[in-house]
Amino acid sequence: MAATQETTTLPGQGAQAFFASMFASRTDAELESIASTKRFFERYIGDVRFREALQAGESPQALCDARGLAVDAERLKPIWQNDLWQTIKDEGRQEEWSEAFLWARWVGQLLEHRDMLKEHAGHTDEGRFSAWRRRQMNRTDSELGPRNRSITHPIVAYELTKGCTVGCWFCGIAAEEYQGAFPYTPDNAALWQGVLEVMHARFGEASQTGFCYWATDPMDSPDYDRFITDHWNIVGWLPQTTTAAPLKDEALTRRVMALFDQALCVINRFSVISLRQLDTIHAAFTPRELLAVELVMQNKGALTHKAVAGRVRSRREQLQELGREASDGSQLDTGTIACVSGFLINMVERKVQLVSPCAASGRWPLGYRIYDQGRFETPEDFADQIERMIDAHMPEGLQGEAVIRIRDDLQIGNVEDGALHLGNDFVKHTVSGFPFIERLVNLIGKDGATVRHVMERMSGEGEDVFAISAMIQELYDSGLVDWELARPRAA
């Protein structure tokens, strides 16, 4: 009998290997074709005049030639003509339209890789954190609707500056003005490496989903490549880079891109905030150099949606008060650009916050909840803060003085056939299997009640305490309720 050897692929290795295979499994000619199609597509998404001229029937080749796009424009028609794409897909005309099929498969694999990264962030032995993150994902699934699909819920983001020099009018997290960077001095490097070691020791592979920006731009940190190299060495993953200033220090950007060519683990992103910037980026980098860099078209006239959060939200409110048009014509989305369910760490301020995405609101205008925050001076302090936040915010179940309430965005509906309906604009939740559900939810309502009060009241009405407890756990795990500890009464 032949011996078999089982090999285990860790999810992170799987995501990395998958990404690397997207390049290794294609010929040079195929990669060139995808890169050229990508450049065409960026122009299509970002340049309204180009797009409208194509749609109006002007010669695709003349339009592409005028913009320096080295493509056979006729062969890319399925990229922007949905009917044609559907027809050739249905008829399987892959050989005839090879460029379009190469592009579609590439995009499909990028989405597959994104979903792998979401899984990757769930791989930690820190059970209470893992369950907490799942509850945040369940909550955002119903609170943000389809927007949540693209959120991978990485577990940590590190800011290496305070504020941002770019100052985008649409900044969904309303970044402060730039106030300084965290330079890579020996002391700072030791603190940085210590923080990474704490994250890796505590959360294992999930810590690989970290990245080094938030309300900051990586290119504002002159030592950015040294920080991410430490991340790679200590955590085992080169973190994703997103920048709106890729040409601020082109040499730094190229050093970062060279690191990614070695690591091949995740796509980078350049945010493009004007058409002129798109021209400059296209002039500075070849299509092939940008193959692993997504250009996120944020300029006026682009097809990209903007989240109603941060500056977009406040600007809308101000303009609406003046009775004026509250948009640059961009499509607007449910409000958040936040993605982390975990820790947001600013190295300049030595501050750590526990955060998770949400729809921007009066209470959370930046599109993320801040559950807690604390300061640290050393890696040991940092570890203590993490421990404290897990203890305070991630109980396995709710008991005693925990006040639970139905989430603000959910409407409490009627009971039909023993099932209670809770819903918002995106989803309708059906809660069934507990005959007392309507009474329990009415008791909790939007104002909330302590678990102790709910248990006493309902068991007093003859309900089984284990069943009540199971119901509360289900509401908690599914993210349908919010909770906090009851404040002690004043003496």
> For the CA atoms of the chain, what is the radius of gyration?
25
Which one of residues 88, 137, 244, 410 is an interface residue with ligand SF4 (CB under 6 A)?
244
Q: Which is nearer to ligand SF4, 272 or 389 (CB)?
A: 272
Q: Among residues 130 and 152, whose Cβ is nearest to ligand SF4?
A: 152
Residue nearer to ligand SF4 on the CB measure, 217 or 463: 217
For residue 357, the minimal CB distance to ligand SF4 (Å) is 15
Does position 164 interact with ligand SF4 (CB under 6 A)? The reply is yes
d(CA 369, CA 133): 13
Q: Which is nearer to ligand SF4, 171 or 389 (CB)?
A: 171
Smallest separation, CB 354 to ligand SF4 (Å): 20
Residue 100 to residue 73: CA distance in whole angstroms: 11
Distance CA 60, CA 57 (A): 8
What's the rounded Cα separation, in Å, for the pair 262 and 243?
20
| String marking each residue 179-218 x if it binds ligand SF4 according to CB under 6 A | ------------------------------------xxx-
- Per rule CB under 6 A, is residue 99 in the interface with ligand SF4? no
Rounded to a whole number of angstroms, the minimum distance from the CB of residue 306 to ligand SF4 is 10
Task: Name which of 386, 296, 303, 300 is nearest 337 in CA terms.
Answer: 296
**Of 52-60, 164-172, 182-190, 386-394, which part binds ligand SF4 (CB under 6 A)?**
164-172
| Only segment of 63-71, 160-168, 341-349, 447-455 that touches ligand SF4 (CB under 6 A) | 160-168
- Minimal distance, residue 315 CB to ligand SF4, in Å: 13
Closest approach, Cβ 461 to ligand SF4, in A, equals 52
Q: How far is the CB of 182 from ligand SF4 (least distance, A)?
A: 16
Minimum Å gap between C-beta 272 and ligand SF4 is 11
Between residues 142 and 241, which has the closer beta carbon with respect to ligand SF4?
A: 241
Nearer to ligand SF4 by Cβ, of 32 and 294: the residue is 294
Could you say which of 45, 63, 102, 175 contacts ligand SF4 (CB under 6 A)? 175
SS3 labels along the chain: CCCCCCCCCCHHHHHHHHHHHHHHCCCHHHHHHHHHHHHHHHHHHHCHHHHHHHHCCCCHHHHHHHCCCCCCHHHHHHHHCHHHHHHHHHCCCCCCCHHHHHHHHHHHHHHHHHHHHHHHCCCCCCHHHHHHHHHHHHHHHHHHHHHHHHCCCCCEEEECEECECCCCCCCCCCCCECCEECCCCHHHHHHHHHHHHHHHHHHHHHHHHCECCCCCCHHHCCCHHHHHHHHHHHHCCCCCCEECCCCCCHHHHHHHHHHHHHHCCCCEEEEECCHHHHHHHHHHCCCCCCCCEEEEECCCCCCCCEECCHHHHHHHHHHHHCCCCCCCCCCEECCCCCCCCEEEEECCCCEEEEEEECCCCCCCCCCEEEEEEEECCCHHHHHHHHHHHHHHHCCCCCCCCEEEEECCCCEEEEEECCEEEEECCCCEEEECCCCCHHHHHHHHCCCCEEHHHHHHHHHHCCCCHHHHHHHHHHHHHCCCEEEEECCCCCC
Q: Does 167 bind ligand SF4 (CB under 6 A)?
A: yes
Determine which residue in the list 166, 181, 266, 291 makes contact with ligand SF4, applying CB under 6 A. 166
Between residues 167 and 301, which has the closer beta carbon with respect to ligand SF4? 167
CB of 221 to ligand SF4, least distance (A): 12
Q: Which is nearer to ligand SF4, 163 or 194 (CB)?
A: 163
Quote the CA–CA distance of 1 and 149 in Å, as a whole number: 47
168 binds ligand SF4 (CB under 6 A): yes
Q: How far is the CB of 205 from ligand SF4 (least distance, A)?
A: 28
Stretch that binds ligand SF4, among 114-122, 168-176, 184-192, 397-405 (CB under 6 A): 168-176
The CA distances from residue 93 to 10, 84, 98, 105, 266, in Å, are: 37, 11, 8, 14, 31
Establish if 338 lies at the interface with ligand SF4 (CB under 6 A): no
**CB 213 to ligand SF4: min, Å:** 7
In the bound complex, what is the minimum distance in angstroms from residue 352's beta carbon to ligand SF4? 19
User: Which CB sits closer to ligand SF4, 217 or 225?
Assistant: 217
Instruction: Report the residue number, 36 or 268, with the smaller CB distance to ligand SF4.
Output: 268
Instruction: Kindly state the number of chain residues that form the binding site for ligand SF4, as judged by CB under 6 A.
Output: 10
Residue that has been written with the tokens 């493009």 in this structure: 272
Q: What are phi and psi of 175, to 5 degrees?
A: -55, 140
Least Å from the CB of residue 269 to ligand SF4: 11
Segment contacting ligand SF4 by CB under 6 A, of 15-23, 161-169, 182-190, 280-288: 161-169
Nearer to ligand SF4, 144 or 171 (CB): 171
When asked if residue 171 is in the footprint of ligand SF4 (CB under 6 A), the reply is yes
Residue numbers of the site for ligand SF4 (CB under 6 A)?
164, 166-168, 171, 175, 215-217, 244
